[in-house]
């Protein structure tokens, strides 16, 4: 692949990349993809499809001054003369240049992602870029009717909800005679990163304009774009919090831990946890890694190897095999032991005390609730190598069939041991 510099001044470096296409692509860099060696904007994608390319890379944040562009055209006129089909491509500052110099370069199609109309504060207020306006280099820089033509096709892609780019678009809409628009909602100014795809770029450059076709291809690219989901989450977080959980549930993301900045990550976690929308797996999708502290509680087991549970249907303490507990986890609530204390269970994110009366009728009470007359909490007692569950002078005893009753002595079947909770 032949690549070499064909023009250079203080503001731009122009690089030729040979291919085998009939069309000649003018690929403009932006604030990020400025001149560096022989690198061309979208080089990999353009090279993959064999395009002949003139890469116009900015050396400064100077928005392609007209004097530089005219000097370039004079220098490269003989090189580009054989190409009757010419297409301009760029984003942001590069999108501006592709439109601004479409007549000068005789472009048949221009593909501009989130372009500017001007950065001159006299033309438009845009605090992102007004600071880069230089009266000497950018005099009379706005896109004007004499810069464009109805014979040329202009395709602009932008986010209509992003105020700054929408303001620039409305100015362009007023001056461009043959404007085709594709919307990319909730992406802000990151359309270039979101739509990074060699096949999509090839379609933008070569496929007849067909909104249905382009939107279908854009959806496919967005679905696999980490940048898209980041921008979508940033935009949804303040306004549509309940949609965030659905994004995570319905998409297989795997973002790295540095994908979100610290402030956005904090707000994101707070929103998701406040709305109880996600689980640990969903947070891992977002690249949010964490280590849960080791839980000290351990499930009580009877001498037959069955787990001790509270059966919310029968309202009894019973014993079941781990597999049965896993299958019926909504009804069979494990009983854990940390040390001496009261028998408690967790049910629907609430902690309950298990209490009983002299007729061995059990009932659940929330911690702050008053006990009914005759009800007394069941107590866990910790000994050197086992636990005992007691009601007054009675101790809970299990049988091999999972039944439990309170008896007036302390047989081996009244001694419970612990093991870590088994998650199936």
Banded pLDDT at 75 (limits 50, 70, 90): very high
Tokens matching residue 5: 């510099």
Domains identified in the chain, total number: 3
Query: Are residues 201 and 254 located together in one domain of the fold?
Result: no
Query: pLDDT digit string (tens) for 10-21?
Result: 999 999 999 999
Banded pLDDT at 276 (limits 50, 70, 90): low
- Asked if pLDDT for residue 361 goes beyond 60, the answer is yes
Q: Which of 74, 58, 165, 44 is nearest to 113 (CA)?
A: 165
Q: List the beta strands (DSSP E) in 129-250.
A: 153-158, 179-183
Query: Are residues 309 and 205 located together in one domain of the fold?
Result: no
Beta carbons within 8 Å of 79's beta carbon, 6+ residues apart: 6, 16, 54
Tokens matching residue 338: 């940390």
How much is the pLDDT for 339? 86
How much is the pLDDT for 325? 85
For residues 424 and 415, give the distance between their C-alpha atoms in angstroms, rounded to a whole number.
26
CA 365 to chain centre: 42
Banded pLDDT at 42 (limits 50, 70, 90): very high
- Asked if pLDDT for residue 424 goes beyond 60, the answer is no
Query: Are residues 222 and 243 located together in one domain of the fold?
Result: no
The CA-based dihedral angle spanning residues 312, 315, 316, 319, taken in that order and rounded to the nearest 10 degrees: -20
Using an 8 Å Cβ cutoff, are 5 and 15 in contact? yes
Domain with 302, as residue range(s), is 298-419
Query: pLDDT digit string (tens) for 126-182?
Result: 999 999 999 999 999 999 999 999 999 999 999 999 999 999 999 999 999 999 999
- Asked if pLDDT for residue 302 goes beyond 90, the answer is yes
> Is 290 domain-assigned?
no
Query: Are residues 19 and 149 located together in one domain of the fold?
Result: yes
Tokens 């795809």 locate to: 197
Query: Are residues 132 and 23 located together in one domain of the fold?
Result: yes
pTM of this prediction?
0.63
Mean pLDDT over each residue of the chain, to the nearest integer: 89
Q: What are phi and psi of 345, to 5 degrees?
A: -135, 160
Query: Are residues 85 and 193 located together in one domain of the fold?
Result: yes
Q: What are phi and psi of 72, to 5 degrees?
A: -60, -50
> Is 291 domain-assigned?
no
Q: Which of 89, 86, 85, 166 is nearest to 126 (CA)?
A: 166
């Amino acid at each position: 692949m032949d690549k070499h510099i064909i023009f250079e001044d203080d503001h731009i470096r122009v690089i030729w990349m040979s291919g085998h296409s009939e069309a000649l692509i003018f690929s403009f860099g932006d604030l990020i993809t400025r001149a560096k060696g022989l690198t061309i904007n979208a080089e990999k994608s353009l090279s993959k499809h064999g395009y002949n390319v003139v890469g116009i890379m900015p050396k400064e944040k100077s928005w392609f001054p007209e004097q530089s562009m005219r000097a370039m055209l004079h220098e490269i006129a003989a090189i580009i003369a054989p190409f009757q089909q010419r297409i301009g491509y760029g984003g942001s500052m590069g999108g501006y240049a592709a439109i601004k110099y479409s007549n000068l370069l005789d472009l048949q199609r221009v593909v501009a992602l989130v372009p500017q109309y001007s950065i001159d504060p006299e033309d438009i207020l845009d605090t992102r870029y007004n600071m880069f306006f230089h009266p000497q280099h950018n005099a009379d820089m706005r896109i004007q009717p004499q810069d464009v033509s109805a014979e040329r096709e202009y395709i602009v892609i932008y986010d209509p909800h992003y105020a700054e780019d929408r303001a620039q678009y409305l100015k362009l809409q007023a001056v461009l005679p043959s404007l085709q628009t594709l919307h990319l909602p909730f992406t802000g100014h990151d359309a270039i990163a979101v739509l990074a795809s060699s096949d999509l770029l090839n379609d933008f450059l070569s496929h007849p304009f067909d909104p249905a076709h382009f939107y279908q291809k854009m959806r496919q690219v967005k679905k696999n774009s980490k940048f898209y989901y980041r921008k979508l989450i940033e935009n949804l977080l303040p306004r549509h919090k309940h949609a965030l959980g659905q994004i995570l549930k319905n998409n297989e993301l795997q973002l790295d831990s540095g994908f979100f900045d610290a402030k956005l990550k904090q707000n994101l976690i707070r929103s998701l946890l406040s709305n109880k929308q996600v689980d640990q797996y969903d947070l891992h999708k977002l690249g949010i890694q964490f280590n849960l502290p080791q839980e000290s509680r351990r499930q009580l087991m009877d001498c037959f190897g069955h787990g001790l549970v509270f059966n919310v249907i029968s309202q009894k303490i019973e014993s079941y095999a781990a597999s049965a507990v896993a299958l019926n986890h909504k009804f069979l609530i494990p009983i854990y032991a940390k040390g001496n204390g009261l028998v408690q269970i967790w049910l629907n994110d609430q902690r309950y005390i298990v209490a009983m009366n002299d007729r061995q009728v059990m009932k659940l009470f929330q911690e702050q609730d008053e006990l009914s007359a005759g009800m007394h909490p069941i107590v866990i007692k910790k000994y050197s190598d086992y636990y005992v569950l007691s009601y007054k002078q009675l101790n809970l005893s299990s049988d091999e069939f999972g039944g439990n009753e309170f008896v007036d002595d302390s047989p081996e079947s009244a001694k419970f041991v612990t093991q870590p909770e088994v998650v199936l």
